[in-house]
Amino acid sequence: MLGFVVRRLLQGVLVVFLAATAAFLLLHLAPGDPIAATLDASNVPESVRAYWRGVYGLDRPLLEQYWRWIAAAARGDLGWSYSRGVPVTRALADALPNTLLLVGTALVAGFVVGIGAGVLQASMRVRGSRGGRAVDRALGALTVFFFSLPEFWLAIALLVLFTFLLPVLPSSSAYDPVLYEYMSPIERLVDRAQHLVLPALTLALGALAVVARHQRAALLEVAREDYLRTARAKGMNERAVLLRHALRNALIPVITLLGLAVPALVGGVVFVEKVFGWPGMGLVAINAVAQRDYPLVTGAVVVGSVAVTVGALLSELLHALVDPRLRAIGGETRGRAA
């Protein structure tokens, strides 16, 4: 297992390096002047802009800029944000907790509710009654509907529905910027939860739909195994058969989805944070792109790549813990090596 983790970590380092290199080179080769975008080009003399290009090293050859950035990044220094006037690590550190809260909430909600919906669909299907099949078809149609909706459209639809037509939830930010400092701790918690609902729901619905469909399919496939027929022959009711015996094995392919869900959520969070004004890394990255803030965009890509790599590694580790066959393979490999 240790060797497996080390190999995956080395692969993750390579992925992060390639992603950071691609982001750095593409940004610097793109047309436009980041200093002119940061300053008011119409009122700032060329000599002043040339001075700031020299300060940030933008007047150096591209390969020299790249190697200087790589050397600094290896020490944990991702550069200086042109638009914010602070180190990139500080700008990202301020935004990262909000993004982790949003993605984590959406991930947990999507998987928990999705697994529950998939189990319900499978149990209704196995029951075989007319009502059970109707529930299965209705939930299946609902999951397909949620899966087919683009996240940016769903975000706008939820925003219009719950903040304008039915004004029950706040429309933007992570908390009330006016009243937050005057609230009690409980009121602050409630306020943050209210602001979290819409962006987290937008991200969670897509994950929920995918998880529910995979959970249903996996559970129905496992339900036909011989050991479950034996359990039924011993008089165990169908609900106990599904929940006690079938669900454990049916969770294995669903856990594999975790490694795919993390990159999808990291990509979707950019648009969701922009729509809801959520002060996370996605909003920081979009604003940085508009302002041609090369170091901040590249830093956001690095952090996003690390998150995707860690998510994939955790998914594979959970897969190995749940599936005893993988542990057995690992033991046989160590035995042959010995």
Neighbouring-strand partners of residue 80: 87
Is 216 strand, coil or helix? helix
Kindly state whether residue 61 falls inside one of the protein's structural domains. no
Query: Does position 292 have pLDDT exceeding 50, yes or no?
Result: yes
Q: Which residue reads 């690992």 in tokens? A: 330
Kindly state whether residue 51 falls inside one of the protein's structural domains. no
Q: What letter does residue 80 receive in the DSSP assignment?
A: B
Q: To 5 degrees, how large is the angle CA 65–CA 69–CA 74?
A: 155
Query: Does position 333 have pLDDT exceeding 60, yes or no?
Result: no
Kindly state whether residue 83 falls inside one of the protein's structural domains. no
Query: Does position 335 have pLDDT exceeding 50, yes or no?
Result: no
Of the ranges 36-50, 187-201, 311-325, the best mean pLDDT one:
187-201
- Residue type, position 100, single letter: L
Instruction: Dump pLDDT digits (tens) for 152-211.
Output: 899 999 999 999 898 899 988 888 888 888 899 999 999 999 999 999 999 999 889 999
Query: Does position 332 have pLDDT exceeding 50, yes or no?
Result: no
Of the ranges 73-87, 127-141, 190-204, 243-257, the best mean pLDDT one:
190-204
Rg (CA), the chain: 25
Query: Does position 42 have pLDDT exceeding 70, yes or no?
Result: no
Chain-centroid distance of CA 276 in Å reads 16
What is the distance between the alpha carbons of residues 322 and 332, in angstroms, rounded to a whole number? 18
- Enter the pTM of the model: 0.84
Kindly state whether residue 79 falls inside one of the protein's structural domains. no
- Residue type, position 86, single letter: V
Kindly state whether residue 82 falls inside one of the protein's structural domains. no
Q: To 5 degrees, how large is the angle CA 224–CA 225–CA 227?
A: 130
Query: Does position 81 have pLDDT exceeding 70, yes or no?
Result: yes
| CATH number for the domain harbouring residue 172 | 1.10.3720.10
Q: What does the pLDDT read at residue 276?
A: 93
- Residue type, position 154, single letter: L
- Residue type, position 223, single letter: A
Which range has the worst mean pLDDT, 63-77, 165-179, 229-243?
A: 229-243
Question: Residue 315: which of 239, 237, 243, 253 has the closest Cα?
Answer: 253
What is the distance between the alpha carbons of residues 11 and 5, in angstroms, rounded to a whole number? 10
**What is the tally of structural domains in the chain?**
1
* Domain extent at residue 116: 94-325
CB of 109 closer than 8 Å to CB of 200: yes
Q: What is the mean pLDDT of the chain?
A: 84
Instruction: Dump pLDDT digits (tens) for 101-149.
Output: 999 999 999 999 999 898 888 888 877 667 778 888 898 899 889 888 8
CB of 262 closer than 8 Å to CB of 312: yes
Kindly state whether residue 174 falls inside one of the protein's structural domains. yes
